[in-house]
Structure 1
């Protein structure tokens, strides 16, 4: 027998012997048996059921939290939309505004009556426009003239020798110009500036007096009464195409 055959036989014998030894150890080792009695099994089963019940409760609790979160999120979106709509209405002048401000009174110069001058019974659109420009320059926020709310699209013009504000005719004097500002501090600054206003001089040239009231914390400016027309706008179709 050659040396190669002897070496191969030795290797095969070693492998077979190793496998027999492993099998012998496996058979020799006793199988562990569950020695718990029925009461211990019942206790263990009860613990498992309690654990399962707690897990289910935790799952339900998390599901309720998720549901509540989704509900609050939807409500918050609706609330944001409502608040945004209210803000837009306020900016557009569609809501009544109450806050600190002043009242300007435009009236005839009654002293001129004694001198035989004709009494001025109306105010020109140009004077009102200049007054509005000056008020806006001094941080006025909301304005009404003779009970008519002034907004960004307000038109003041002369039609058939009558001064009209968005179609409303100003016929009789005196009239009130109500101005609302952000706070009392701004109202006081506006009051001081209007005391030395150039508009007052321009009104006086037309035999009109511009009286300025002391700042008040509760000036009310009415909402805009006319319909607002939106032009050159179309609804957006689905898909983002107009």
Structure 2
């Protein structure tokens, strides 16, 4: 609609300029005709023409300001849309703090070391990855492990016998995992009904799942996200 209004405004400006040129052209083309009007009549005619010219100039200025307003509105609208898009992308990438309804999962040893004769001091990376896959399939939107945000580029692996997330060692038990989802109740019930607890129990680990609660906060990802096979777009390059 703005483009149509700008087109109409431009057409009106063109008509106004055409009218002014026509008036000037006529006055140039007919100088030979003797004007028989007296001084007062000439002054009144001049005054009328000056008023018409002033009105034309005012109209021109009004439409120029109108066009500028449309252009500014379009620029501000584009800027606002761009900012909203960037914020949404940052949210999806895990770069912003998230608050919402969610659950807390606590991982701790199932039996004491004195009973099993085996020391349980960490969670195997494969177990954590399986749990994350389960959570994502149940509608998890934001997850943190031991206070560290999980994003698409997060790496969980064993380094020298220690499970690390993005290079950071996980703290000793109990290990806390926070999960925010669109439907925390559904997330809670589906996780309780899954076999993932049995899988953890094989490694002498217990999963304790809290009831859903609101106003849970998950911190943003605070490390550098490395993106491969990409370069800055330069003006003039084909997309």
Match of 2:145 in 1: 145
**Matched residue of 1:152: which SS?**
coil
Does the CA-based 8 Å contact 2:104-2:179 persist in structure 1?
A: yes
Match of 1:159 in 2: 159
For the residues of structure 2 that align with 1:87 and 1:197, how far apart are their CA atoms?
32
TM, length-normalised to structure 1: 0.74
Q: CA deviation at 1:138?
A: 0.6
For the residues of structure 1 that align with 2:227 and 2:35, how far apart are their CA atoms?
85
Measured on the aligned residues, the alpha-carbon RMSD in Å equals: 2.6
| 1:116 matches 2:109 | no
Does the CA-based 8 Å contact 1:145-1:178 persist in structure 2?
A: yes
Structure 1 residues 64 and 224: CA distance shift in structure 2, 3 A:
same
| 1:234 matches 2:231 | yes
Structure 1 residues 137 and 159: CA distance shift in structure 2, 3 A:
same
For the residues of structure 1 that align with 2:166 and 2:113, how far apart are their CA atoms?
35
Match of 2:176 in 1: 176
**Matched residue of 2:220: which SS?**
coil
**Matched residue of 2:112: which SS?**
helix
| 1:193 matches 2:194 | no
Q: Which moved more, 1:134-143 or 1:76-85?
A: 76-85
The 5-angstrom pairing of residues 79-118 of structure 1 reads: 79-109=80-110, 112-113=111-112, 116-117=115-116, 118=118
List gaps (5 residues or longer) in structure 1. Answer: 1-32
Structure 1 residues 114 and 129: CA distance shift in structure 2, 3 A:
closer
Q: Which moved more, 1:146-155 or 1:209-218?
A: 209-218
Match of 1:202 in 2: 199
For the residues of structure 1 that align with 2:35 and 2:231, how far apart are their CA atoms?
80
For the residues of structure 2 that align with 1:225 and 1:114, how far apart are their CA atoms?
35
| Matched residue count | 205
Does the CA-based 8 Å contact 1:108-1:119 persist in structure 2?
A: no
Q: CA deviation at 1:129?
A: 0.6
Does the CA-based 8 Å contact 2:101-2:212 persist in structure 1?
A: yes
